[in-house]
A and B are shown apart, each in its own frame.
Chain A
Amino acid sequence: MNFSAVLRQLNFDLLIFRRNPAATFFTVILPLIFLVLFTSIFGNGTLDNGARVSTVYVPGILTLAIVSATAVNVAITMTTRRERGVLKRVRGTPIQPEVFVLSQSLAGTVIAFVMTVIMTVIGRVLYGVSLQFETLPSLIISLIVGAMSFAAIGLAMTSIISSEDAAPAVTNAVFLPLYFISGVFVPNDQVPAWVGQVGNLFPVSHLNQALQESFDPFADGPAWPWNHWLVILGWGVFGLVVTLKRFRWTPNR
């Protein structure tokens, strides 16, 4: 793999992302609106463990931001590029296909990283959310594992989505319900147990739980949520397998 080629393409992919108003709104602005709204409306309540509800909204909405920057963004961007013949043209050049796909996934990871910094700062300054230095390595690992796995899931969704118009609909239909049952919008201890169990089958809930541990104000010592990482990675590998089997470079018409 040619890493300087990946970096060159990454540069272009981040530029393209910045200039796409829909992508920036849904990935950057909307999570910030959600963060401010949810913490303003529900943030003063208290959780079972005595912490303020606002402390769970930063990792919760951060989960949404990461999924949005990777899975949703990759699925919509790649489907659009495929249907408009952009991918076919790329396939006609000497660039390694992996370079192009990896760059798109890394672009999502970089955006997710930036969102993590922004939301942590907002959470710290406006809502007094704590982040201990001991849990920082765990947060970074959750971010990388989550971003790369959800990027692979986004590629897998691209392989299945048939048209450009269907891409936003399919990604919303998949992830919007998952946010509700994965503790993103509604803290996990406030939904019926069975709802949480259904949510636990999917990776969104595990990313949320892994991030919650990093932001847990009562955590003693570093958090290493291996079980959650493994479930997320498992879904990521599943996404990769579907991608390798089904991904097409030519338009579906």
Chain B
Amino acid sequence: MSWVVLRLGRALLTLLLLIAFTFFTLAMNGDPAAAKFGPDIDPETLEAFREKWGLNYPLWKQFLIYLDGIWRLDFGLSFRTGRQAWELVSARLPATLALMLPTMFFSIALGVPLGIYAAAHRGGRADRLTIIAAVIALAIPAFLLGLLLMYVFSVWLGWLPPSGWVGWSSFLMPVATMAVSTASVYARFTRSAMVEVMSHPMIETAEASGLSRRLIRRVHALPNIALPLITITALEFGNIITYAVVTESVFAWPGAGRLLIESVAGRDYAVVQAIILLTGSTMILANLLADLAYGWVDPRIKDARRPRPHRKEARA
């Protein structure tokens, strides 16, 4: 229990630091009034806008007002639209989730079997090809891969729509853009975890007892690579959010990632903060769930977290 409380405390502190860092970074390098009205506006209008939105208060006071709002689950109003920031973000979230969830599914479905296959043929041609493909996939930036796919499948072949959502075919290129690099991460980690497990003495023992290689992999090796895969899944969740920001811009996908870019450019503090808070919480939650999952997958970890009995009690 104390372990969970400690983790939650750390999560809250991380969130607070995240909010503070985002707030001060945005506030110190751009004026929302100038961003909203552009360069041609008269100074009186700019001043009236700053006054109306409390931008003339000292930064620390603006921050405390914002924190007070967060405490009451009020994320504030968007400078750009005058609407609730949370309303804007929640309207865009479903479109982002509609990209993220299939991406995660296909990354695991493609990357894990590829990694197992490469490890099973360690040192062979299949292994080398898999590794080279994974490195290339990881090295290509998402925006470049997105544009390449667009030029092949939309401009040359005319098979897929290049932007927005015009049917289920619209998912293919954005999901492929995001899944390629994530799948390559899964392939590489699965391969190395599998190679490590397969060199463990227990595998030799299993082989000596006459079990087939396939059965050994399924029964002895796969459960042992579950832990690193859970860790990677929690980390990749953050990467997928990053890819979504880029991919949504390239494919004009109406998600929260594109909203984040627009809002940062427009210094729309409330919206940026709401998105950062949401993604930060998601990351923290994903890591927390991964920690909990460790105990479920490997009971030894659960035992280690239990408080040790007092020495006197132990003697008794």
Is chain B a partner of chain A in the same complex? no
